Amino acid sequence: MGDVLNGEASNSDEKGLRLQVYLAHAGAASRRAAEALIVAGRVQVNGAAITALGSKVFPGDTVLLDGKPVQAESKLRYFALHKPAGYICSSADPQGRPLALKLLPPNITERLYNVGRLDFLSSGLIFFTNDGDFAARLGHPSSGLEKEYLVEATGPIPDQTIEAFTRGITIEGVSYQAKEAERTGRKSLRVVLIEGKNREIRRVFSHFHLHPQRLCRIRIGPVLLGDLPEGASRLLTEKELEELHGNRH
């Protein structure tokens, strides 16, 4: 939290900053993804393509990614957004659908991107940041980060659906399993996922010929959606960030 010039980046004047760290601080990619970009020859420093992972960047150096300038962010940002249904989690959309990114405060100068996704029809809590390492760590299944959802179906949800989801089910070769799936009504569930595979809840519901009428994420780890209005955002608190960095949930 705070400026990237604290900690590892603070010695860049004397020792330089590893290129993959520089790219992560710039919000271009996580360190692991930045390493792949470097090896692929997509990064240039002072006009020369760099493919060696031990390369350093010094003050005054010009860094390009795919020919476009990259600058390390001086301030790391962490936002929680209540995404409404009908918005897409992407930096651009060829179909012209509304971008969740555009709901963030317009005076933010840093280039932010979403941590994980919520599909177009789903609503609820999602994070935006310019911290590549933070995004990669939270997005990786090994983080063990819980994500909690409220789901309302168009029809009654059979007990066998809940039992199969919590026990584990394989659909078209992909395994799905909820950490918790608790009935909250005849047509509604509270679901807690850990890995959160792409459209997991919708795929399991579809397998049982069910259709979610409303799917809302209400929690990511220690961070609650609470009473944050649809379309509104807020900064994550220092306490929330400490807990997320520690992955204690």
Q: Catalytic residue positions? A: 119
Closest CA to 23 of 15, 14, 11, 39: 39
CA distance 211 to 209: 7
Q: For the chain, what is the radius of gyration of the CA atoms?
A: 20
Tell me which long-range contacts 181-185 makes (C-beta under 8 A, separation of at least 24).
Answer: 183/157, 184/150, 185/152
Total residue length of the chain? 249
Containing H/E element for 244? helix 238-246
Q: Tokens standing for 221?
A: 């780890």
Location of structure tokens 């919000």: 27
Q: How far is CA 236 from CA 103, 126, 133, in A?
A: 16, 11, 16
Pair 189, 183: CB distance under 8 Å: yes
Rounded-to-integer distance, Cα 107 and Cα 116, Å: 23
> Which secondary structure element, helix H or strand E, spans residue 153, and what is its range?
strand 147-153
CA atoms within 13 A on the CB side of 56: 11
